Chains A and B, each alone.
Chain A
């Protein structure tokens, strides 16, 4: 019997030891990720989070390229053809967007993701070294303001169409999300409120940002974006002076036309002297989706967008920009602006500042910084074209110059709305040219109202 008792006691002891030995084994911590509380404790942590905001900005759905691609497709009037298999861009190109369009959803999500990262940076500025605080705040506000600007242009009625104070814009979210509850059911702010926030953010960014900041946002980038915002509002005086501040900073130089875009293949991108702000791409990190959709397979693209003759016909004989095209093996015309798979995505470049200053001055009958004629001829000269005379300088001439200089770079639909042009029979304020609020957002946030036409 003793033997039996012993074996019972022995096996029970064995089990007991196992049990006590195991209990703390349930404490397994994440290894690839870090608990949020541990993630933000030092100045370096905040630096890393700010870099995360740039990473978010460079997402393929945003300045990684799709946002710019879609601005071109939505504004296209037969100068290019989408012949890819993805249905979402095809809907955008056809101006027949469904509320469930995945790109419309992803652009929204990616933009607000970036905004939340910026909000988190701004809420934790106390972690920053005092000397860095202004710069960090400026960078976060540059990205946040820029994102709200992109959202308001795509998801709401254009500025100047109807009453901006009553037209629904997009929700303004200015604090980081740490818990989820009813307060996240945010309604749309008015178009005017969103524009006001954009201008506030970008203005503060311009104040706080340094003139040079590596490839990150600078004073010039904030002023350049601000110039775009004012121009979009038709607020020509501030637009001209913001553009002028970029030009007058003398930090940027026009480069020869063949150097504006990266014509190398499969090599990490670089900023030119003309770059005011660009999304950085390397073979390690970042995407250039303009390359993906515009370039042919040999250059790492899908070749989904090709250019029609009617676009080429817009260029004068001597225009060197008309040479920035190539023909693929199937005889289709392609733009050479995006041939380097790892080339940076240009967001703001100096030429656009001259074009903004020229247009705003022209419309305002001013010559902040320089005369419109001088600015336009500077751009023309760089393209190898003869200068215009004062008599030839019309608004149309300026807009035409802008169209040719910035072709495929993601300004088309916004320029069409701003200048109230038609796309075929579609008027600039047609609901088809405004994105729907993504269906998933409507489903997840009952406070949102859908745009007309959807």
Chain B
């Protein structure tokens, strides 16, 4: 604290003598292409935070210090310009269009900075790029657009969770998701669901309408992210919402509508194939003594499942394609209306939006009604105040997770011999072999309603020229109400109906208070500094009540339940108290030094380890400023930068260090308690040391710009749920033991291929990341189905038996033994006994490359943009293969590829002999592992802006019509539904790359209109 005060005094001392004469500069900013005035252009005295914006006519006026060097003019979508002031008092500027300017301003923690002067690595996605994409949440929208940011939709359900990895996984047991900060306030990204249910978790980020977003800045390296200290190791996603702009109020109306369908369907056996297949499987198993099921018993089974009529299966009268029953018509529509404007003193942005998106799976729907109000007001020359406020209501008709009989996709397991409707009752068939989840469609409901307020108020006071103090007070309040009702006809609701109500409330307060300082000294020394503190407190309350026995399905609220059979309430909380400082120093406009530090204290850390220090340092060198480079006209920009720093991961649970007892051990109505956690007084945050070396370049007058980064992220003190001997009465203990590393490179290239009336630009980003766990204290930690965290391998490698195909002599499934020979080599002989086959690493769920390519073409009012996104080098494990591709092991309907089964000696195939309950080749093995590489036409938009002459006649500013397609094409060798998958039933840090009855991504096609007036 003392040191902090001293620093402030020191800052003040610096600033005082600099109060010299000031003078006025004014001018007009226009767009180079058409000469139209540009409102809202930022005009900043270079190296300071002093500046203004142009008004509605493009005019500005600014008081500048006498010794000022340069003014920086920047505007989203244009190339920035830097104009030396000299003696001029009028400076008119023309800005050229640029879809991806290198001089854009990027948002950093507690401030913003010109990209030119940045020494850290920040990926920026502008709100314009993702406007009106037909997806629910912002992370989905930026998929493929930011280098090194891997975003995986778990499956094709709407409004449900996603996995994000910035530069790989840096943790084994703590969270790997980045910190999300909206307008300076860290937001809640996880909400508790029903602790007992198998529901897929909702995604609180979907509460934000991303059409309100101005920009998304992803802090990736330590220099950029260390200002968020103990929560920065997974990267930080800064979301900045649209602010008001001085000028005539501009209204904008957006509307689009469309529909979704599955990107792919799989093929299953039809009735004739099914019957034949299982008759063969039974006969094989009987011949081998594996079962005693008789032919008559099997046929009785068929008849019982085929509505009791032998002819139904024998003559193929019933042939149900159950998969088609899992899907629904899936319309989508969104409406947005916004207004943006203000005068010199008060600026505002208000918007309202409604989204209604149906999932491709039955009963899956997401609706969001949201409003935003952003306002800032200059009370005096020195004092600015404002408010950013988002209010949203979302309604999500949820589904159970993929590992649930009631989830729609598991319906594919039903034999095709069973009818959808029972012919005797004409009701939905409730006598199916497995549960008919259509009963849930008709007799169950699962609706989650969230109310969300994310807002903050702020005041900024300019104490001195170049020195200001800003105070932000924000809150993120999330109320989530889950209402579930299962009618008596359903699996869960049997026999008289079950109702479940969950209510979660998460209240998350933050305050940030900081000084910023920016000055140029002696024309050659630029100093920017930020210093301040932050406090955050979050508490989560959860209550649940469960009732059963309802008079009828007309009653769905628990008040009508005859019996209340479960109820609970829980509460948990955490807090962070932090101090941070950043100092950027530039010499001669070419040598840049950045120092960042944060001290984080948290209630999560043990008393002995309560505060952690997270420093980083970075340097930059703008070579093109050097005289020796100025003569090379082809190179317009060249910058080298390097950073090194320490960040942490504090997502270690709220009370992980303590020895705990739980009071949940009651027995038959008598209260009880029992130990639930063994203490670890030394528990602390995970630490990541990150090095980043980057090169930024611009060639041919910045027609070609790009960035190349190489990084290493070494994480130690990994928080591990270490397996301890079960004989202790505990199965795991939280410890900081492990180490892992991520290293890789990122490559970004932006080109303007064609300029002029016809324009064509391309943005390419490619990232390679290699993850390796270097130390787990000898532990092996399992996750997913066969994923494993183990030393020497990337996180989540698939560890299992290696399938060796089928014995051509007898149709047995074979496995490589892979036992170690005396000489250390592996025994590559095969065995039909899986217990004699060692489990080995058989695959890696982490892609070696991810990337995206966006092309934008425009001619007059017409524009076309399309994004190809993909990942390469990873494998996918279809954990459901044991059931759906099991050569007739159970009565599950089988994928059609099982028709390749071995039938007679000499057959060469990869599908073993069909054996009912024979377990022939059905153990977890590489049989169910496939390459997951894919390239996908993620988004394509064709738009047409009506000519001004036409729109002006209708007194409109702008009218644009467009069609957008999402997930239009997929190129992959994966034979499952979708290579973009990680089943929500097993997704986690280690549970990666698994498919388990996971719905494919929707292919969505929409048509829309934007009207500006």
Q: Which residues of chain A have a CB within 8 Å of any CB of chain B?
A: 1, 4, 7-8, 11-12, 14-16, 18-20, 22-23, 25-28, 30-37, 39-40, 45, 48-56, 58, 78, 81, 83, 85, 87, 90, 94, 96, 98-100, 105, 108-109, 112-113, 115-117, 119-120, 171, 173, 176-180, 184-186, 215, 265-266, 280-286, 297-298, 300, 308, 329-331, 438, 440-441, 443-445, 454
Contacts and interface: CB of A to CB of B under 8 A. Distances in A.
Contact of A284 (B577, B669, B834): B669
Contacts of A178: 659, 678
Contacts of B495: 265-266, 298
A78 B663 contact: no
B678 A25 contact: no
A90 B919 contact: yes
A275 B956 CA distance: 85
A30 B658 contact: yes
Contacts of B659: 35-37, 178
Given A28-B573, A32-B572, A438 B673 contact: no
Given A26-B601, A30-B658, A52 B728 contact: no
Contacts of B565: 283-284
Nearest to B573: A28
B463 A443 contact: no
Interface in B282-335: 292-293, 300-301, 304-305
Interface stretch (B134-142, B353-361, B531-539, B812-820): B531-539
9 contacts: A30-B655, A39-B675, A48-B673, A120-B675, A178-B659, A178-B678, A180-B730, A300-B494, A443-B779
A50 B666 CA distance: 10
Contacts of A185: 725
Given A28-B574, A120-B675, A186-B725, A283 B563 contact: yes
A438 B491 CA distance: 33
A26 B726 contact: no
A180 B678 contact: yes
Contacts of B919: 90, 94, 96
Nearest to B433: A330
Most buried by B among A4, A22, A23, A331: A22
A11 B667 contact: no
A186 B4 CA distance: 53
B727 A173 contact: yes
Given A12-B8, A33-B662, A173-B728, A98 B566 contact: no
B515 A308 contact: no
Given A52-B673, A184-B724, 12 more contacts: A8-B12, A15-B533, A19-B533, A25-B537, A39-B675, A48-B665, A51-B667, A54-B672, A98-B923, A171-B727, A177-B678, A178-B678
A441 B917 CA distance: 29
B554 interface: no
Contacts of B782: 440
Summarize B's interface: helix, strand, loop or mixed: mixed
Interface string B805-843: 000000000000000000000000000001100010000
Contacts of A173: 727-729
B8 A8 contact: yes
A117 to B, nearest CB: 5
Given A4-B463, A36-B661, A440 B673 contact: no
A331 B300 contact: yes
Contact of B602 (A20, A26, A40): A26
Interface residues on B, range: 35 or more
B728 A177 contact: yes
A18 B835 contact: no
Nearest to B292: A78
B675 A116 contact: yes
Contact of B461 (A7, A22, A55, A330): A7
B511 interface: yes
Top-9 shortest CB links A-B = A116-B729, A51-B672, A52-B674, A280-B668, A52-B665, A36-B659, A39-B661, A445-B725, A28-B603
Most buried by B among A34, A56, A99, A178: A34
B674 A109 contact: no
B969 to A, nearest CB: 35
B401 to A, nearest CB: 16
Contacts of B905: none
Contact of B661 (A33, A286, A300): A33
A16 B885 CA distance: 66
Interface string B635-656: 0000000000000000000110
Interface string B467-496: 001010000000000000000000100110
A300 B729 CA distance: 31
Contacts of B511: 18
B245 interface: no
Interface in B561-618: 563, 565-566, 570-575, 577, 579, 601-603, 610
A85 B883 contact: yes
Contacts of A117: 674-675, 729
Given A18-B535, A32-B570, A177-B678, A108 B726 contact: yes
Interface of B: 1, 4-5, 8, 12, 16, 292-293, 300-301, 304-305, 431, 435, 461, 463-464, 469, 471, 491, 494-495, 511, 513, 515, 532-533, 535, 537, 548, 563, 565-566, 570-575, 577, 579, 601-603, 610, 654-655, 658-663, 665-679, 723-731, 733, 779-780, 782, 834-835, 839, 882-883, 890-891, 917, 919, 923
Contacts of B8: 8, 12
Contact of B679 (A25, A28, A30, A36): A36
Contact of B292 (A19, A20, A94, A308): A308
A45 to B, nearest CB: 7
A40 B8 CA distance: 51
A184 B883 CA distance: 39
A20 B2 CA distance: 12
Most buried by A among B548, B671, B882: B671
Nearest to B610: A26
Given A48-B671, A51-B667, A440 B723 contact: yes
B668 A285 contact: yes
A295 B737 CA distance: 46
A282 B669 contact: yes
Given A36-B661, A39-B673, A55-B667, A330 B728 contact: no
Contact of B654 (A30, A286, A329): A30
Contact of A35 (B601, B610, B660, B923): B660
Nearest to B12: A8
B824 to A, nearest CB: 21
A443 B660 contact: no
B660 A30 contact: yes
Contacts of A30: 572, 654-655, 658, 660
A96 B431 CA distance: 32
A361 B8 CA distance: 93
Nearest to B601: A26
Nearest to B463: A7
B672 A55 contact: yes
A444 B577 contact: no
Contacts of A36: 658-661, 675, 679
A59 to B, nearest CB: 10
Given A11-B461, A55-B667, A329 B431 contact: yes
Contact of A330 (B301, B917, B923): B301
A217 to B, nearest CB: 12
B301 A286 contact: no
Contacts of A53: 674
A26 B575 contact: yes
Contacts of B728: 112, 116, 173, 177, 180, 184
Contacts of B464: 4
Contacts of A180: 678, 724, 728, 730, 733
Nearest to B532: A15
Contact of A33 (B667, B676, B883): B676
B270 to A, nearest CB: 22
A105 B676 CA distance: 18
